[in-house]
Structure 1
Amino acid sequence: MASHRYACGVDAESIDRYRPGGYHPTRLGDQLKSGRYKILHKVGWGGYSTTWAARDHEHQRYVAVKISVAEANKNHETSILRLISSSPSHTHGGKEHIVQLLDSFCIEGPNGKHQCLVLELLGPNIPELIDSYLRDERLPAQAARSIAHQVLMGVDFLAQLSIGHGDIHARNIALTLPRLDSLNEQEFIDTLGQPELGRVQRTDGSAPEIHVPSYIVRPAPFKAKQVLQSLRAPVIKIIDFGESFLPNQAPATLHTPLVVRAPEVLFDDPIDRRVDLWSLGCLLFELFTGQPPFDSIMQTPAGLISQMIQFSTDELPDRWEAKWQTMQEKRVQYADDDPPYTLQKWLEEVYFDTQRRCELTKRDIDKIGELVGLLLRWEPARRSSAKDIANDPWFR
């Protein structure tokens, strides 16, 4: 089914993914699992799922229902989340910063059989939070410090279970919104924002096929008041375990966004959970500055590695030299008259932007640069652990 046959005025998931093996055509008001879960709004979407806000009538609470594409691996993410949920909460404070699995089931639809994960309902992720609610285009300093520490604790908790998340980046860090369960359905929808629907139409004027929904829902914007109140003492959760793995299940590669992808992935080395430490270093930089350390516009693997070399405090491993030379030979070179930056110099330039409010001192930025540098090491074995970074006195 070609995407040009359909049009919709709402910018959300791709309509051409509504096909056999693809997304389930979910509608507002749908009742899932014999009426237990009532769909009220959309809260997000990705390449392999759509996620919906729903009322759990059995437990009188609001939840997120993540409906995977029919062709997705139905057991992988569920098994990881069940392992996390089965771990005692009192043994590690980081568990409270991992989204919790509440239920799982399957549904049948015109596009096949879909795995549904019922998760805690969360608010906006970090980029959504910044883009929609913050004028400075970055987090307030105290919120950034608190969120950074919580993410570090969460990743350390996963490390204790030998779980690699595999996809640590700002869009997979979401803010919690307390007191939602006390609202009735209309108050709840008002808090999320009234659903905006875009009618799906075939460009040839024919009726839509059964595989395609009659409308697309724009994800909930969330009311600013609720979000900004939560940001005063933020509590976050790490979400999306679609790329996660255990030691005996490490994938050959990962699909982490290129700009935060660990070098061992770029060089096709064996992968283990220490890829999360590199991504953590990139995330810490972004939480405080509002942008990742490496360029994200028109980036290529070779261009990214060139920047990594510029910012690194250690040497490129010998085993990667030959591959790097080959990549350089194929790379299009551009003239660049700007002087080279160190990681610390770049961090200072990005943070001390005269058009933004600067709440942190030069000493704070020096410390952040030091911590980021301990994570952005070529060799996974030389990266500091999340626990060591979280225990640094600067976070107290």
Structure 2
Amino acid sequence: MNQTPYISTVDAEPLHRYQQGGYHPITLGESLKAGREDTYVAIKIPVAETEYDGDTRERQTLKELASHHPHPKHTVHMLDDFDLKGPNGSHKCLVYELLGPNVPDIIDAKFPDGRLPGKLAKIIAKQSLIGLDGLHQRKIGHGDLHTRNLAFTMPYTDDLAEDRFIGMLGKPEIGYVQRRDGKCLEAGVPEYIVRPASYRNHSWNLAQNAKIIDFGESFSLTAVPETLHTPLSVRAPEVIFQDHIDYRVDLWSMGCMLFELFAGQPPFDTFLITSPILVGQMREMATDELPERWQDKWNTMKMGDVMATESTGHNLQEWLEEVYFDGPLSPDLTREDIIVTTP
């Protein structure tokens, strides 16, 4: 593997992506779109387009959602969009409402046992379902549902002075970029990069709403992609088996996400997972047979893969009860709350 020619003391993003058709170099304090919004916002600057090919799926979806009044609940609001020309190409920028940490960040910062309290998990689960229902009522698929794409709203920032706002997030940590050979940086490579802000030291109000974010894999009923790049551990079987997909593939990912919200870990392995291993785990947990139309692909998929055939010794109900009721902490859910039912 070729070593990137650039180095920095901050490991924030792959520096080799600062090239034609890649990232846009930006500096702290820079003004975009000839000015600034009248409130704090988040701006997403995608990789540059080498040729104009119309709006991205994300931009199309968010424009569609922005056209509805009221805006669907518990999904991020796009406030504006604009084109930005830079040294690496033209970027179609999206302006979002400012949101805070995602669910895993909150768990890492505040819950050392690795799991949300049951009551909070219930609230987030309900808000997630409301958000997804709002999308599906409009026949829009999100395509990338997982806990990192659930973020909390930011409290009380509109009236904050800039110095107080920066103080809340912490002083930006800068890492200057250098070439390994000591030569000057090429055009399009930033002078420095900035480590993402952390919420670990901030007193976070968990009464805030959770919203679905990141619509990069989203699609409409009339523009369904051939496949999706949802993380493998929460990927719907229809995607794995390259079957016809529609917005309802989100239901599988939502189920996996809800499981993780309550159990503190996803229902399927994430470490060194492969499609055959994942499908094998799905089959162990499912009560119905693999559809006949997938059988040939399943047989091909298994070739060359060593499949675990022994039972884990626990069914889903037993596993959930062990997680919630066999530990040292007092459970804040009842056994009725986590009962597993089959149709």
Q: TM-score range by the shorter chain?
A: over 0.9
Describe the superposition over 1:82-127 as per-residue Cα deviations: whole angstroms up to 9, x where unpaired: 111111218xxxx220101101001111100011100000001111
Query: Quick one: which of 136, 141, 147 aligns to 1:159?
Result: 136
Secondary structure of 1:248's counterpart equals coil
Equivalent positions of 1:6-17 (< 5 A) are: 6-17=6-17
Aligned to 2:336: 363
- Offset, 1:294: 0.3
- Offset, 1:203: 1.0
Distance 1:144 1:234 in 2: 13
- Offset, 1:3: 4.9
Mark the runs of 5 or more structure 2 residues left unpaired by the alignment.
Answer: none
Instruction: Check whether the contact 1:6–1:203 (CA below 8 A) recurs between aligned residues.
Output: yes
Aligned to 2:241: 267
Distance 2:310 2:238 in 1: 30
Q: Is 1:343 equivalent to 2:316 in the alignment?
A: yes
The normalised TM-score by structure 1 is 0.81
Paired AA for residue 80 in structure 2? D
- Offset, 1:24: 0.4
Instruction: Check whether the contact 1:347–1:365 (CA below 8 A) recurs between aligned residues.
Output: yes
Which of the pair has the greater relative contact order for Cα pairs under 8 Å at 6+ separation? 2
Distance 1:13 1:353 in 2: 41
The normalised TM-score by structure 2 is 0.93
Distance 1:355 1:326 in 2: 45
Q: Is 1:308 equivalent to 2:282 in the alignment?
A: yes
The alpha-carbon distance between structure 1 residues 276 and 337, as it changes in their structure 2 partners (threshold 3 A), is closer
The alpha-carbon distance between structure 1 residues 215 and 353, as it changes in their structure 2 partners (threshold 3 A), is farther
Instruction: Check whether the contact 2:277–2:307 (CA below 8 A) recurs between aligned residues.
Output: no
Instruction: Check whether the contact 1:70–1:114 (CA below 8 A) recurs between aligned residues.
Output: yes
Q: Is 1:82 equivalent to 2:63 in the alignment?
A: yes
The alpha-carbon distance between structure 1 residues 224 and 119, as it changes in their structure 2 partners (threshold 3 A), is same
Instruction: Check whether the contact 1:177–1:226 (CA below 8 A) recurs between aligned residues.
Output: no
- Offset, 1:215: 1.2
Distance 2:244 2:35 in 1: 45
Q: Is 1:172 equivalent to 2:149 in the alignment?
A: yes
- Offset, 1:315: 1.6
Paired AA for residue 299 in structure 2? Q
Number of aligned pairs?
Answer: 340
Greater percentage in helix: 1
Aligned to 1:126: 103
Query: Quick one: which of 240, 262, 265 aligns to 2:214?
Result: 240
Give aligned-pair identity as a percent. 52
Paired AA for residue 79 in structure 1? Q
Q: What RMSD in Å do the two structures reach over aligned CA positions?
A: 2.0
- Offset, 1:276: 0.3
Query: Quick one: which of 219, 226, 249 aligns to 2:223?
Result: 249
